[in-house]
Structures are given as C-alpha cells and as structure tokens.
Structure 1
Amino acid sequence: MNKLNTLDTLITRFQNQKPIRASSLVITLYGDTIEPHGGTVWLGSLIKLLEPMGINERLMRTTIFRLTQDGWLTSDKVGRKSYYSLTGSGRRKFEQAFRRVYSANQTVWDGSWCLIMTQQLSADERKQLLENLNWQGFGVLTGQLIGSPSANLSDVNTVLASSNLQSKVIIFKTHQQEELAGKQIRMLVRECWELDKLGAHYQEFIDLFRPVWQELDEKDNIDAESSFLTRTLLIHEYRKLLLRDSQLPEELLPGDWEGRAARQLCRNIYRKITPAAEQWLGKNLESADGPLPEASQSFYQRFGGLN
C-alpha cells in the first residue's frame, strides 16, 4: 500500500499549533467518523486512532474527561472498558456545524433579507447574539442593525428565545428585490462580512491540501491508515473555516470566490480516500458490541454522494 507523503506536512502543522487543540480534533472525529458508525466507541480505540497525530494516551484521557465535564460526551462502562458517545446536546451542536460541511449545494436565494434592530441590547448582548446567529448568515450592516440574506425566521426566533432577547429586538423581513445583487449590495457584503479576509483563509486551505490531491492523483491503492488520518485533518481544517463562513448566497459572492475552489478540493479528496479510510476504521474501532457497525446510508450522501 502507498502511504501518503503529504500527510507528514499535515500532522506537523497540527502539532505546531500551541496548545494542541485535541478537544476540537476529537469533536471532528466524532462528527466525521464515529456518529455515522453508531456513535459509540471504546476509549482504547480513540487512543490508538489519534496517537499518530501526536496525541498520546495521557492527553487523550484528559481531553475525553474535559469533553465529558463540558457536556459533549457521555460514557458507559462494560466490564473494565469505557465507551464514549456524544450527549444529546453535543449531537445537536455537531449536527448544526457538520450539516454545512457535507451539504451538496446551497439553497436558491429568493432575494429577501432578514434585518434585526438591536439598539436595546447591551454591547455584550449584541456580541453574543451575533455569534449565535453567525451560522444563519448574519453580519453587522451598520451601527446597531444586523442582517442576513439567508436566515430562517424559525431558527432566528429559537436563538432569540433561548437568549431571552425576543422583547429587546425588532425583526424585519424584506421582499425580493428586482436586482438581487447589485454593485452597491455586493460592495456592502464584501466589507461587512470581511470576505477578503475569509478568502485569504480559504486560499491557505487550498495551498495546504492541493499537494495532497496531486499525490492522490498519482497513486493507486492508498494506505488505509494514511487515508483515515488525512480525511480527519481535511475535515478538521475545513470545519474550522466554515465556522467563520456565514455561507452567503452565491449571488452575493465574488466571481473568483476562493470558498468555491476550497469546497471542490475538499470534496474531491474526501471522495478519493474514503473507501480506504473506511477499511481502516472497520479493522481498528471497537464498540460495546464488537466491531463498529457499517456506516449509515446518510453517510454515503455526503458531498452529493460518495459512491
């Protein structure tokens, strides 16, 4: 089997991040790998899987303990072995983020905007609300007005209710404009959502993973462990980017938007290495009932289809 030489660069880059974000990587592992295979795995399997990343047994045990304390993970003990899975709240958090990672296409924009006037909020309340609504595409348009071209009103109201802010804001929903994305609107979006800065981050992702794709294109029979580790770091880096990305409609993005190329690259690599990665997981992960079950059908719908 051919090992991926570019994997060394990815692992070195991850290890050079100080401190090592082990907790974030474990969440990536659960979302990308463990949830589609039943959601529960033996701690010993986790230790073995991520050891090549520079996460030793002591760090892994500390990381799992913290994620459990923070309400992300829950454990079951069978004999002397501990098996960990996401909690209900942990699963809901992960689903919000990972649904965007693997989606095939963005929905068609109808040209409307959701606007929220926040002048009755304190600075801290406004900051927290914007952070909570970032995944709904909200940005600061001007002063105390925030807006999104892609928000779901039901989801917005859920966020407001959970924050007890419904009585402190005013929501407007605009109608479709004749010109969906005129020059003035595109300039406003580019500035308010800091698209140049985000585009630079996407370009860094492209520069990091383009050599991986080039190597994959030159090799057959890719080593299974290399495939699994590469896939994990690929999704880990891509997920972090999407947390910064408000996922604006295509009509409002630059014609040469780096996010499109990054998504295409991520999808191509993921599709290429998943068969070998799945072989590795089947041989090396253990649930309370033995080997991990086969991946769910929804897993094979990622990125528009893996088969």
Structure 2
Amino acid sequence: MTHAQPERAPRPEIPTRLLVHALVREDGTVDADKLYGVAGLLGMTDQQVRLCVKRLVTEGRFTQEGRGRKAVLRAVSDAATAAIAPDAVHVGHAYRQDRGLAPWDGTWHLFAFAIPETHRTARDTLRETLLHLGAAPVQGGLYVAANPIAHLVEARARQLDVLASVTFLTSTDLRIGNIVDPRQLASGIWPLDEIAAGHERLAAFATHCADRLARGSDLSRVERLTLAVELAAEFSRAMTPDPLLPPELLPHPWPGQRARRLSQECWTALRALPEAQDTPTPLPRLFRLYSDAITAPGER
C-alpha cells in the first residue's frame, strides 16, 4: 500500500538579486558555487545568475574576483543584505506581543497632514512612512495607528521639513460612523484577511521546512541554504505588511502568532545542523540577523 506524499508548500518567489543579497556572509563575500547551487534548486538558470551578478557589479554594489562558479563576490557595503534582512525592531515587537509583553493600553494614535502639491515628494514619503509603521488611512490625510509611533513620524517629518503641516493626537474613544468597538474598527481599517493569508502561507512553508529538517539530517549545505533563503523570503513577505496590531484588536485565533512560532523553531533547527567537515565555510549573515531578531534576549 502506498502513502500519498504530503503536499509541498508553495515555493516563495525569490528574485535572483534578492538571492545574491541573502547569501552574503559575515565577511561580506558570496561564494559563487553556493550561489549557483541554491539558484538551481530554486529553479533559476545559470544565465539568470550570470546576468544578475553582472548588473550588481556594474551598479557598484559588488565586486567580483574570479570567474564562473569559482568566483567570489564581495559586497561594497553592509546594505547588501538589507533587501532580505528583517527589521529587528518590528520583528522583536511582534514576538513581544506573542509573549504577552506588549498589551494595548486602549489608545489610538492619529496623524493628520495637509502638505501642498509643491511638496508632493515629501508628502508621498511621509505617507509611505506612515504605512510602513503600521498606520492606515481613515480618510483623506488622516491616519491611525494602534501602536505609539509618534516619535518616529515626527522624526521623519522633521527630516522632510514638513513638521509644521502634521497634526498629532491620541484618542481612547475613536468612532467611525456608528462603529466604536475596537476590534470592529480594526477589521474595517486594516486588510486583516490579506495579512492573515500571508501568515497562513508562512505557517505552511515553515511546517514544510520543519518536516524537511526532521526527515533529512543529512541536508547538504546548498539544501540548507536554500531552505533558509526561502524561509527568510516568506517571513519577510508575511511580516512586511503586518501593522502588528495588539492582540486585543485581532480575531481569535490569529495565524501570525503560530506562523512566527513555527518560523522560530525552523531557524533554531537550521542553525543547529552540524557543519559538513569538507565545507566549513561561514554561514550567511542572514542566519545571525534572523536568529537575533526572532529570539528573546534571555534565550540567546
């Protein structure tokens, strides 16, 4: 009697450029042989990798020593990993919420601005900053957040020289139309269904990752790197749009907590794998960045 194989979690889409960044080691280098190996497991062709490397070198982001699979790429600055590195503050706050260490105090943080068309670039940048920090529009020029981000918004407004056009206020009795219940307000302001779907995808991939690790302690370094890059990409895909609303404002159960727990378990297992004696080269700095971001200080 044959048993059906478990369904493979959908593979996250990873641009070649992102892959190069993800494989930067602590010393700023990327081993081309590992790059081509991981790219192959992700369905990328050697030609894709060659063209990408050529563009990155032309842009001045990397230098190249040697040719083909024997080449070594060197990042020009630490920013090379930023494309896939986690926002440690954002991720750390998420795990604090999961541990019940960041309860909501019932305060809504509101921001209003009316920046003229002559400062359109600054206006657009401020809007992007608000969205990045987890705020959402309530109506034209008025944004609301559940977390205390005023100091970050103010710093950005000062940098853009538009602070005089920004109004800051807080409220504990926000009402939109006839809706006053905080959880109902949150579900109407933020696209929680889409955010939850992203966490469900992350949980599915993390489950696949854990299963693969449990079944294959003999993973090659290339296979190990591939799993790490895929997990990092899916984690970033789920976390980037998440405003990290306090649990008091979210539906129950909320998939974000489970997805982050599974991700943490996978990172721990990936780091714990023994190094192959014939390839004792350093792991990408991605391993440290994610482990630092998702691990509580007392657990390191």
Judged with a 3 Å threshold, the aligned counterparts in structure 2 of structure 1 residues 62 and 169 are, in CA distance, closer, same or farther, namely: farther
- Structure 2: give runs of 5+ residues left out of the alignment: none
- Give every structure 1 segment of 4 or more consecutive aligned residues whose post-TM-superposition deviation is greater than 6 Å: 293-299
Percentage of identical aligned residues:
19
**Structure 2 residue aligned with 1:288:** none
**Structure 1 residue aligned with 2:48:** 59
**Structure 2 residue aligned with 1:97:** 87
**Structure 1 residue aligned with 2:163:** 166
Task: Write out per-residue CA displacement over residues 136-175 of structure 1, whole angstroms, 9 at most, x where no aligned residue.
Answer: 2211123321122224334223332444433332223x27
Alpha-carbon offset, residue 56 of structure 1: 3.1
- Give yes or no for contact 1:43–1:84 (8 Å, CA) kept in 2: no
Task: Write out per-residue CA displacement over residues 69-97 of structure 1, whole angstroms, 9 at most, x where no aligned residue.
Answer: 667x3436589955322625556676663
Judged with a 3 Å threshold, the aligned counterparts in structure 2 of structure 1 residues 293 and 190 are, in CA distance, closer, same or farther, namely: closer
**Structure 2 residue aligned with 1:84:** 74
Judged with a 3 Å threshold, the aligned counterparts in structure 2 of structure 1 residues 24 and 204 are, in CA distance, closer, same or farther, namely: same
Judged with a 3 Å threshold, the aligned counterparts in structure 2 of structure 1 residues 140 and 121 are, in CA distance, closer, same or farther, namely: farther
- Deviating more after overlay: 294-303 vs 225-234: 294-303
Give the number of equivalent residue pairs.
279
**What TM-score do you get using the length of structure 1 for normalisation?**
0.71
Alpha-carbon offset, residue 45 of structure 1: 4.0
Asked whether 1:23 is paired with 2:17, we answer yes
- Give yes or no for contact 1:133–1:159 (8 Å, CA) kept in 2: no
Higher helix share: 1
What is the RMSD of the two structures over their aligned residues, measured on CA atoms? 4.0
Alpha-carbon offset, residue 131 of structure 1: 2.4
Task: Write out per-residue CA displacement over residues 88-136 of structure 1, whole angstroms, 9 at most, x where no aligned residue.
Answer: 5556676663554466424624444432112335587655433233332
- Give yes or no for contact 1:113–1:150 (8 Å, CA) kept in 2: yes
**Structure 2 residue aligned with 1:237:** 234
Judged with a 3 Å threshold, the aligned counterparts in structure 2 of structure 1 residues 155 and 88 are, in CA distance, closer, same or farther, namely: farther
Partner of residue 191 from structure 1, selected from 166, 188, 196 = 188
Alpha-carbon offset, residue 262 of structure 1: 1.2
Partner of residue 304 from structure 1, selected from 272, 292, 295 = 295
**Structure 1 residue aligned with 2:198:** 201
- Deviating more after overlay: 124-133 vs 54-63: 124-133
Partner of residue 75 from structure 1, selected from 47, 55, 63 = 63
- Deviating more after overlay: 201-210 vs 116-125: 116-125
Alpha-carbon offset, residue 239 of structure 1: 0.7
**What TM-score do you get using the length of structure 2 for normalisation?**
0.72
Judged with a 3 Å threshold, the aligned counterparts in structure 2 of structure 1 residues 247 and 168 are, in CA distance, closer, same or farther, namely: same
**Structure 2 residue aligned with 1:265:** 262
Judged with a 3 Å threshold, the aligned counterparts in structure 2 of structure 1 residues 184 and 209 are, in CA distance, closer, same or farther, namely: same
Alpha-carbon offset, residue 44 of structure 1: 4.4
